[in-house]
Amino acid sequence: MCLAFKIPSPRKLLEQLDSQELSLWIARYNLEPFQKDDINTALVRHSIYQSQGGTRYSPDDFIHKWYRPELSEDDIEKKIKMYFGIL
C-alpha cells in the first residue's frame, strides 16, 4: 500500500493515516485491488515481446484482465460498509 500512495515506509504511512482510515483503504483494496503492478508487468512483457521482433500486439494486450464487473463508487461504498457491518 505504501507504493500505491508513494510513501517510503509503513511507519510513514501510519504517521499519515489513522487506524480507521487505514482499515477503510485495506477494505477498498480487498474489493478492488490497485492495478499498478499489472500495468508495470504488462510493459515489461511488451518490451520483451518487441525485443523479439513482435509488432502485432500493444501493451494493453499484455495487461491481466480481471473478470470482475466494474464497480461504481456507490457500489464500492456499500461493499465497504457491508465489510465493516455498518449496513
How far is it between the farthest Cα atoms of the chain?
54
Q: How confident is the model at residue 67 (pLDDT cuts 50, 70, 90)?
A: low
Burial class of residue 41 (count of CB atoms within 10 Å of its CB; 0-12, 13-18, 19+): middle
Q: What is the C-alpha to C-alpha distance for residues 17 and 22, in angstroms, rounded to an integer?
A: 6
> pLDDT of 31-51, one tens digit each?
766 666 677 788 888 888 889
The answer, yes or no, to whether residue 69 has pLDDT greater than 80, is no
Q: What does the DSSP 8-state code read for residue 70? A: P
Question: What pLDDT shows up at residue 28?
Answer: 75
> pLDDT of 5-32, one tens digit each?
677 888 887 888 888 888 888 887 777 6
Virtual torsion, Cα 38, 42, 43, 45, nearest 10 deg:
140
Q: How confident is the model at residue 56 (pLDDT cuts 50, 70, 90)?
A: confident
